[in-house]
Amino acid sequence: MSTRTAELRLRAESSGPGMLPAMAVVVLFSGIVQGYLTPLLPELGRQLHIGGVGQNNIYLLSQLAFAVMTPLLSRLGDLYGHRRLLRAALAMVAGGSLLMAAWPTAVTLAVGVVLQGALVGFFPLLVGILRSRAPERNRAGISLLVGVLLISIGVGGLVAGVLSERHAAAGLWTAVPVAVLAVAAGAVLPDSDVPRGGRFHFGAAALLTAGLVALVLVLAQGSSWGWASPRTLGVAAAVPVLLAAWVAVERRSTHPLVSVRMLSNPRLAVISGYTFCAAFGTIGFLGANALFLGASPTETGYGMGMGPQTIATISLAMVIAGFAGSTLTPRLTHRVGDRAVLASGGCLIALGFAGMALFHDTLAQYLASALVVGFATGLFESITRTLSAEAVVEDETALAVGLNELALSLGAAIGAAVIGAFFAAHASRGTGLIGESGFLWSWGACACVALSGTVLALRYREPRAAGTPLVRPSEHVTESGGPA
C-alpha cells in the first residue's frame, strides 16, 4: 500500500460517516440566522421604538461584521485549527441569537447582530476540514452544504414569520433551538490535519478592518449622506488609502494576514471576480425583489400586491430552485467541465434578469425568470466555493474560500447600493414611490454585470489534470495555474 493510499484511508476513518450531516447542521444554523431577522425588523422597530434610521443601522452593523470577520476567522482557522475557530464562531453566533431572543432591546439587537457576524467563518472553516479529512467528497460535499444553506435561508424567514404573527419578538427565538444543535454538531466534528504555524498580524488586521469598514459605510450610508457630500467623499477617499497601506504591509510581512501574492493565482483571481459579478444581482437584488412583489399595481402601475407570507413563499421557491442548481453542479462539472458551468451560471443570471425586464406583467412571467435566477444562484455558489478551495494548497483552503466569501459579500453590497441609487433617481418626489423605470434600470444593470462575469468565466483555465500539484502563492504562477 502506498503512502498516499494509507493517508487517504486514515483520513476517511477519522472523518466517519457522520461528518457531512454534522456539517449540514452547522450550515443549517447559518442559513436560519441569515434568513430570520430581516422580515422581523419593521415590526420589531415599532415595538421597540426603533425608527427607520435605527433599523438601517442594525443592518449596517451586520454588514460591517460580515466584512471584517470573513478574512480574520479564515486566517485564524488556518493558523490555529479550523475546528477550534469553528467552535468559537458557533459560540459567538449562538450567544448573539440567545441574547436577542431573551432580552430584545435596541442595544441587544445591535450587539447580537455583531456576534452573529461570525457565521461568515462557518463555510471557509468547514471546507478546510472537509478538504483535509475527506478530499474525495470535496465537490459533492460543498454542493450539498450550499443547497442546505439556500433552503435554510428561505425556511428561516417562513418560520420567523409564523412565530411572529402575534408578537414580533417571538420570531427571534427561531434560531435558538437550531443553535443548540449546531453547537453539538461542532463538538463532534474532527479537526483538519493541515500544518499550522506563523503569527497573526495585528497591524495588517487593523488596516484591512478599517478599509473594509470605510467601504461598507460608503455603500450603506452614501444615499442618506448624499453621494457628493463631504462626508461621503472623505470616507470614499480613505478606502483606497487604507487598502493600499494594507497591501504594502502584507507584502513586507513574514506572516501576512492575507497573502497578497495569493491574488496573483490566476484561477483564484478569476473565481473571485466572477463571484463578485454573480452576487451583484442574485443577492444584491433580494431586497428589491420583495419590493416589486409587494408593490400594489393600483398605486404604482406595476408589482404583484403580495403580503409578507406570500412573498416569503416565492422566496422559498427561489431557494428550492437554488438547491437544485447546487446539487446538480458536481454532475454538470463532470460532464462539461468547470469553465462551462461557470459561464452557464453567468448566462442564466443575465437571462433571468433580462426576462424580468421584458416580462413582468403577470406573476407567471416574473416567477419563471425569478426561478432561473434562483437556479443559477445555487450553481454559482457551489462551483465558486469548490474551485476557490481547489485553487490553493491544502493549508490555505479556509483563507481562499474566505476570500471568495468576501467577494460575494462585497458584490452583494455594491449591487444593493447601485440598485438603491437607481431607485432614488426614479422615485416620485411627491409620493416617494419608486417608478417602474427604477426597476428596469436595476434589472438591466444586474444582467450586464452577470454578462461581465461570464466573460471572466471564459478566461478560467482548468488544471491540466486532476492530479496537477498546486503551488504556494510565493511561487511564480503561469496563466494555467501550474508552476512556471
Secondary structure (DSSP) of 352-375: HHHHHHH--SSHHHHHHHHHHHHH
Rounded-to-10 torsion of CA 394, 399, 401, 406 = -170
Q: Which of 403, 389, 482, 468 is nearest to 132 (CA)?
A: 389
Question: According to the model, what pLDDT value does residue 383 have?
Answer: 93
Work out whether the CA dihedral 225, 227, 228, 233 comes out positive or negative. Answer: positive
Give start and end residues of each alpha helix (H) in 337-427.
Answer: 338-358, 363-390, 397-425
Question: According to the model, what pLDDT value does residue 142 have?
Answer: 85
Q: Which of 88, 87, 92 is nearest to 111 (CA)?
A: 92
Cell numbers for 411: 458584490
Confidence at 196, pLDDT banded by 50, 70, 90: low
Residue 10's region, left for phi above 0, alpha for psi from -120 to 50, else beta, is alpha
Question: According to the model, what pLDDT value does residue 305 have?
Answer: 85
Give start and end residues of each alpha helix (H) in 19-81.
Answer: 19-36, 41-48, 52-80
Spatial distance between the Cα atoms of 307 and 309, rounded to a whole number of angstroms: 6
DSSP, collapsed to helix, strand or coil, labels residue 217 as: helix
Stretch 196-218: mean pLDDT, rounded? Answer: 78
The pLDDT tens digits for 397-438 are: 777 787 888 888 788 878 887 887 788 778 777 666 788 898
Confidence at 1, pLDDT banded by 50, 70, 90: very low
Task: Compute the radius of gyration of the chain from its Cα atoms.
Answer: 22
What is the set of domains in the chain, with CATH numbers? 17-200 (1.20.1250.20), 258-461 (1.20.1250.20)
Q: Looking at 95-247, which runs of residues are DSSP E strands?
A: none
Please, are residues 90 and 186 in contact by the beta-carbon 8 Å criterion? yes
DSSP secondary structure of 86-133: HHHHHHHHHHHHHHHHHS-SHHHHHHHHHHHGGGGGHHHHHHHHHHHH
The pLDDT tens digits for 38-91 are: 777 667 777 887 765 566 567 667 777 887 787 788 778 877 888 889 999 999
The pLDDT tens digits for 316-347 are: 888 899 989 988 998 999 899 999 999 999 99
pTM: 0.77
In this predicted structure, the answer to whether residue 118 has a pLDDT above a threshold of 80 is yes
In this predicted structure, the answer to whether residue 287 has a pLDDT above a threshold of 60 is yes
Spatial distance between the Cα atoms of 345 and 320, rounded to a whole number of angstroms: 16
Spatial distance between the Cα atoms of 322 and 371, rounded to a whole number of angstroms: 8
Confidence at 478, pLDDT banded by 50, 70, 90: very low
